[in-house]
Structure 1
Amino acid sequence: MPSSISKVYLQKSTSRHFELTTSDYTAPKDFALTHTLSWPQRGSRSTEEVHASLKEGLSRLVRDVPQLCGTLQRGSNDLRQLFLKIDVSAHVVFEFQNLSNNHGLPSYDEFKRDHFPISEVHSVFQPAILQQPVLEGSPMMGAKMCVIKGGYTLAFGFNHVLADGTSASELESLWAQHTVDTSAGESFVSHRKYERGVDEAIRKRLSSPQSGAEKLRQNDQLWRTVPASQSLTSLHTSMGSVLESVVGMMDRKEAYSASRAETPVVKKWHLWRFRPQSLKSLKADSTSPGSDGWVSTSNALIGLFWSRIAAIQKISSTGQQTSTVLMPISMRQRFDPPIATTFIGNAVSMAFASCTLAALEATDGISALQSAALSLRKAVQTWSLSEFDAFLNTVQSLPPDQGMMVRSELVFDRFRIVCNDCTHFKSNRLDWGRHLGVPAPTRFPMPAALIFGATSIVVHPKLPDGSLEVVVSLSEADGKALREDEAFLRYAPDFLCVLPAGKPFRVTALLRLSVRMLLIYERLTRRAVWKWGAVVLIVAASLFITGRRGVGNS
């Protein structure tokens, strides 16, 4: 079957606008965690059959959720008002590429043997649209199926302005259910639980702070007001402005590091697997004595990494007294009535946990673990909707040339931690029909050489046997030290691999010159240079950001 690019259209042609919420507006302008699923080839199933079932399943998904075919637009009266334009030509692009004869790529069995080390260097697996920034006119979804020797991969992602993590998991589940139906020869049945009145009420609340809501304090510990060009939540109009923003972000990161006399550290993703018994022991040991000491498995797991990384890095030797973990927090259960997991949109905020380094670096590993886990638990428990309302109120009162940004020290400082808990995603337990079945462990191919300096922790979706996989961005030295740390090994004996990584981001004179020329041309001609902007961005990304060249790309 030759490579192809298909356009999956809405079956019922229509023209309409779908308004997004203020909460959607403040979401990062990128594609949420890109999923990469893998399956072995099964029996006599042909590639054509597998591709057809996935494509028809996708067609039914967009019939269930038409917003997936929309393109992102900005309102004319209020720059913060975003909407999706769905017209008669609305579609989702579904790519297909046969890489089975590409000798530069591992086979399915080799990927499996090495614990599926699919990372950002495997850009050949990723849909082209997911490797571009989100701008005005950007689509809501991209997907690509690849054939490798002995198996298949499916990579897809959703625009963050449409879907938070919970919504992305719901959309993935809907696609899988429709593919099951398709492969069984069943006719279309809607799997989406949707009530228009309920959905509209939720969207109104996510754009409306409660009466009497305050604004964020000027010295808020999490957020600060910045020029719109520096805000990660701002919607850019051209490739030039995106590149200008990226270079500016990197300049601020380098200035922050220089002010602290920090040496740049190259990080790679380190992957561990935690078995159910290890998780049970970890949770038991993380629970402090007394009625207020209960913690969740996620609190315990992230707390383990937090406490051991702090001990290994000896952060207190830098003069710091506390350490923080920045994390997304779902607001769905905080509303009255609660927002169901089936709601498609952004209902997530940010929270952070703090703990003294004296507690985290305690020689008693159990005590340090309990302090870290309890700090995480308290951060979740004490967060309230009043913080969201204050954020919403502040955003809506800002002039158009200003935006919001997480404080630099929370993401630039290499001794801070940013975590993302995807335990509740259904990815590793979904059945994709008789042609495919349940996939191998999901991978999220993100660059470890992030612009931000903080350590990143991503807890992957739960596996069918109850195990959890975790990737952490660490330097080679810190990764080795953690693998040899006795307090850590007590719960994490199963180290799987270091994922292949690209080159760290560097702002060069050539990149600066390219950005300036692009901006000058755009401003002189008063139009966005989409094509050449994309070329500059792709070249910059391939040469200076991740060094990815599409491993094995034929």
Structure 2
Amino acid sequence: MVEVIVISSSMVRPENINQSGHTKIHLSPYDLKLLNFLYPQRGLLFPKPDQETNIIPRLKASLSTALEIYFPFAGRLVKVNNQEDNTVSFYIDCDGSGAKFVHAKADSVSINDLLQPHDSAPGFKRCFFPANDLKSYDGVSEPLLAVQITEMRDGVFISFGYNHMVADGTSFWNFFNTWSKICMNDSSSNIQPLVLKDWFLDGIDYPIHIPVSENVTPSRFEIPTKERVFHFTKKNISDLKAKANGQIGSTTDLKVSSLQAVLAYLWLSIIKHSGLNRDEKTHCIVAADMRRRLNPPLEAECFGNVTHQAMATAAVGEVLDHGLGWAALEINKQVKTLTNENYKTFGENWVKNLMVAPKISGGSRKVDTYLIVTSSPWFEVYENDFGWGKPIAVRAEPGTGFGVSLIVFRGLEEGSIDVDATIPLSLWSDELLNHYMI
């Protein structure tokens, strides 16, 4: 039995808090819609450093410096009860309360134990993450960022969980890369100051008031799942993209991307072996960065949560009958609808309806028909070096979620893509793993 022992748990605060820069960050509709979402949790596996490398004090000190720059992560979520209209509102108070830092040891665990054969996920992996079961609304009493350093027999796993209302994946990996650079160079020189997003809907009063009835958190539900990491080599991806675009042919000028071809392949493979009724609707939801899609565009490095979701919907039979190219094109078309106007319209409608909690219960069969795609192969996960070498693997902890979770990462080999897939047992088939082999 694997034993993960917590050596210490402490708060790391920015060493210097500029009181004149004490900031209250109002939350937009795109942030508040995530109130009931789990903290995203990711982790990087590193080789074990030399014994003389005292990594814990070094990581703590550099994290403190990084939090001076990325100060929202050191803040707290504040909930305000508006008794005059029986509503609540939220904002981020950048008060320097700090991030949670957990130091743990798993001396019996090796790198090979974590990276199991056939890309299955070990049952103990959950103990390697610091923010299990936390949701965004927990930020009123929990840190907005938690990190865990787990020292293994022959490696080190650095994991994190963060409040999604504060930042998206783009912002987080920028922070993580800054932290690793500071740790490696023992300096924050040449690090650019943080640029907060400054895009807000006109005509909306902030803070947004949410009816108390909509602030009720839904009960948790447990869905038995299986997890696999699917590796797509550069050649796999090239072949899939060529096949998808070949099936589309000359019927349209549109061409699908490499990622869209991979996602369409997984969408098709999963529903093919799922046992879903042909008449049931199936959905593939893809998160996209909106910074450069807005008008005027935001700076690519601006900090915050600036994502939106494209949803391709079709009957199960329709996807199976039309095949890879058609499915990839449906994803492509929906991604292209993510424009400045689409983003603005969503926000305006959200404020009008103010529906925070998911309306599909966990016990519903409908949750099985959703494929939720998060993260991106564009994130520079393998460029993070804290001073003793670059990562050798990246892993995610999806937690108990909603539907099929597909977390996409850049692969270790150039041009490859890894997909951390968590699939409900109701959809799982061992044939799926065999079918995956391209």
Q: What does residue range 225-244 of structure 1 map to in structure 2 within 5 Å?
A: 229=213, 234=215, 242=217
Tell me if structure 1 keeps the 8 A contact 2:229–2:418: yes
Q: Does 1:152 align with 2:159?
A: no
Amino acid at match of 2:242: A
In the alignment, what sits opposite 2:134? Answer: 132
Q: 2:243 and 2:97 mapped to 1: Cα distance?
A: 53
Alpha-carbon distance in 1 for matches of 2:357, 2:134:
21
Q: Which runs of 5+ in 1 are unaligned?
A: 211-225, 235-240, 254-264, 492-554
**Equivalence for 1:309:** 270
Query: Residues 3, 483 of structure 1: CA spacing in aligned structure 2 closer, same or farther, 3 A cutoff?
Result: closer
Q: 1:95 aligns with which of 97, 102, 124?
A: 102
How many angstroms apart in 1 are the aligned matches of 2:163 and 2:390?
25
Alignment of 1:409-488 (within 5 A): 412-427=366-381, 429-435=382-388, 437-447=389-399, 450=401, 452=402, 454-474=403-423, 475=425, 478-485=428-435, 488=436
Gap change, CA 1:84 and 1:411, over 3 Å in 2? farther
Structure 2: distance between partners of 1:353 and 1:28: 24
Letter in 2 for 1:246: S
Q: Which structure 2 residues correspond to residues 165-176 of structure 1 after superposition, within 5 A?
A: 165-176=169-180
* 1:109-508 correspondence runs (5 A): 109-112=112-115, 114=117, 121-127=124-130, 129-133=131-135, 134-135=137-138, 136-182=140-186, 187-195=187-195, 199=196, 202-203=197-198, 205-208=199-202, 229=213, 234=215, 242=217, 245-246=218-219, 250=221, 266-287=224-245, 288-290=248-250, 291-317=252-278, 319-320=279-280, 322-362=281-321, 368-398=323-353, 403-405=355-357, 408=360, 412-427=366-381, 429-435=382-388, 437-447=389-399, 450=401, 452=402, 454-474=403-423, 475=425, 478-485=428-435, 488-489=436-437, 491=438
Tell me how far 1:279 sits from its aligned partner: 0.6
Secondary structure of the 2:219 match is: helix
Identify if the C-alpha distance between structure 1 residues 192 and 295 changes in structure 2 by more than 3 Å, giving closer, same or farther.
Answer: same
Structure-2-length-normalised TM-score: 0.83
Q: Which structure: larger Rg?
A: 1
Q: CA contact under 8 A between 1:34 and 1:157: conserved in structure 2?
A: yes
In structure 2, the CA distance between the partners of 1:388 and 1:81, relative to structure 1 (3 Å rule), is: farther
CA–CA distance in structure 1, aligned partners of residues 277 and 81 of structure 2: 51
1:40 and 2:47 are equivalent in the alignment: yes
Q: Could you tell me how far 1:460 is from its partner in structure 2? A: 2.3
Q: Say which is worse superposed, 11-20 or 296-305, in terms of deviation.
A: 11-20
Q: Distance in 1 between matches of 2:39 and 2:422?
A: 18
2:176 aligned counterpart, secondary structure: helix
What is the number of equivalent residue pairs in this alignment? Answer: 415
What CA distance in whole angstroms lies between the structure 1 residues aligned with 2:212 and 2:117?
Answer: 43
Indicate the SS of the match to 1:484: helix
Post-superposition offset of 1:392: 1.9
Q: What residue identity is the alignment partner of 1:125?
A: F
Deviation, structure 1 residue 107: 1.6
Q: Which structure has greater strand proportion?
A: 2
Shift of 1:28: 3.7
Query: Which secondary structure state, in structure 2, belongs to the residue aligned with residue 132 of structure 1?
Result: coil
Instruction: Deviation per CA, 1:190-239: give whole Å up to 9, x if none.
Output: 523545xxx4xx43x334369xxxxxxxxxxxxxxx9755x5xx4xxxxx
Distance 1:420 1:438, change over 3 A: same
Quick one: distance in 1 between partners of 2:157 and 2:292?
34
Structure 2: unaligned runs, 5 residues or longer: 205-209
